[in-house]
Amino acid sequence: MTMNPQRVLFVCLGNICRSPQAEGIFAQLVAQAGLSQWISCDSAGTSDYHIDELPDPRTRDVSLRNGLTLQHRSRQVQAADLDDFDWVIAMDQSNLAALQRLAGGQRRRLSRIHLLRSFDPQSPDLDVPDPWAGGAGGFDRVYAICLHGCLGLLPQVAARVRAAPKPT
């Protein structure tokens, strides 16, 4: 069977809380599924507020408690990312709108952009709430929300790995 490698980019505002959290969780699920050879992931922010920083200490803390060491350095999302990544996963509707503007009206780019929580059939809400200005509890909540979104996303990405390539 021909395999189609898939690239997944998680995007939030600062790229220090929600999107590196989702990236780390997704990479762990991909590894547990034995698909690391076929699915790669990264994260980025719509802003340039925290370029080259490690994730927020509160994000790293909840990650460590769940067996994840995050080493991502924050970067700003570029229009070229919408060409390079097969899946561009926004954490909230504001990130979604920023990515849609960045797509410059190109249908192929727009079709790659999704909301993380749209992959969680149990989710009562569309947004992963921004935890940055709140307390530590918000980071535990973000972890759980990202886990549920990633659990829904993985089968869809994995199905694309195994699907026959579309004619271009």
Over the window 90 to 129, marking each residue x when it contacts ligand 4NP by CB under 6 A and - when it does not, the resulting string is: ----------------------------------------
Choosing from 17, 112, 130, 150, the catalytic residue is 130
- For the CA atoms of the chain, what is the radius of gyration? 15
Choosing from 17, 18, 60, 109, the catalytic residue is 18
Q: What are phi and psi of 61, to 5 degrees?
A: -65, -50
Annotated catalytic residue 107: no
Over the window 40 to 79, marking each residue x when it contacts ligand 4NP by CB under 6 A and - when it does not, the resulting string is: ---------x------------------------------
Max CA separation in the chain (angstroms): 49
The CB density around residue 28, as the number of other CB atoms within 10 Å, is 17
* Residue that is written with structure tokens 């149990």 in the block: 122
Annotated catalytic residue 52: no
Which of these, 48, 50, 45, 51, lies nearest to 22 by C-alpha position? 45
Complex with ligand 4NP: residue 56 or 120, whichever CB lies closer: 56
Report the C-alpha gap between 79 and 116 in whole angstroms: 19
Which residues contact ligand 4NP (rule: CB under 6 A)?
A: 12-18, 49, 130, 132
